[in-house]
A = this chain, B = another copy of it.
Amino acid sequence: ASLSLGQYTFVQNAFSFGLAVMAAATLFLWFSRSHVAPAYRMAVTISGLVTAIAAYHYLQIMLSWEAAFSVVGSSIEVTGSPFNQAYRYVDWLLTVPLLLIELILVMRLARDETISKSVWLGGAAALMIILGYPGEVAEASGTRFTFWVLSMIPFIYIVYQLVVGLKGSISNQPENVRGLINGAATLVVISWLFYPIVFLFPLIGFTGGAAITAVEVGYTIADIVAKAVFGILILAIAIRKSEAEG
């Protein structure tokens, strides 16, 4: 491949970092369940579940990366075993709907509203990931772009719902957490924006080793923000609401 030894190692380190952060966040979140009132425990449980699922997939991604390349002298050669991109998409298919459900659960809406919002937002998130995958693995730029456009439709729906649809419910939240919940919704929108941008890197001039490195490291950073940092924000909201409600 056109990957340099430095690029290869950098990506590997990023994956290992991702694994460590996700595993640590999982343990922290689950240990913290007992600090939270029963009504908010499911939100915290799911936050930890999301980072646990991600930890597993970072392990698989790292192993697949190591199997795909070998160091020969001071250069990198492909072994023939392909680097499996699908682990990311499998991870997202599971975790992206769950991330939205975390946010909905911590708001503690009426049961009907919780269920309908979970189904609509979770379903749109799953659709977005499924539509992105054929583009990710496509060789041709045209195909990559077409699926990007298709996947942007549910993406925009979700962002719209978070920015406009959830705002009404946020104004009914207790005052001491309104800022945090707004922060969590904003964090989702901003961190999620990274993904469609990173996806376009190969189309906007990054090629070869630089493109691979930028895409893999970019997704890893975005994942850490969207899962671990977000999960801890959800925990903070749950702790404050538990305190306020006594």
| Chain A contact residues, CB within 8 Å of chain B | 5, 9, 12-13, 16-17, 19-21, 23-24, 27-28, 30-35, 38, 41-42, 45-46, 49, 52-53, 56-57, 60, 71-74, 80-82, 84, 86-87, 90-91, 93-94
Q: Which residues of B sit under 8 angstroms from A12, Cβ to Cβ?
A: 84
Q: Which of B20, B56, B80, B90 contacts A53 (CB 8 A)?
A: B20
Q: Which residues of B sit under 8 angstroms from A91, Cβ to Cβ?
A: 20
CB of A134, distance to nearest CB on chain B (Å): 12
Q: Which residues of B sit under 8 angstroms from A5, Cβ to Cβ?
A: 82
CB of A139, distance to nearest CB on chain B (Å): 13
**Contact status B87-A23, CB under 8 Å:** no
- A84's closest neighbor in chain B, by CB? B9
CB of A62, distance to nearest CB on chain B (Å): 10
**Contact status B90-A80, CB under 8 Å:** no
Q: A31-B33, A90-B17 are in contact. Are A82 and B9 (CB under 8 A)?
A: yes
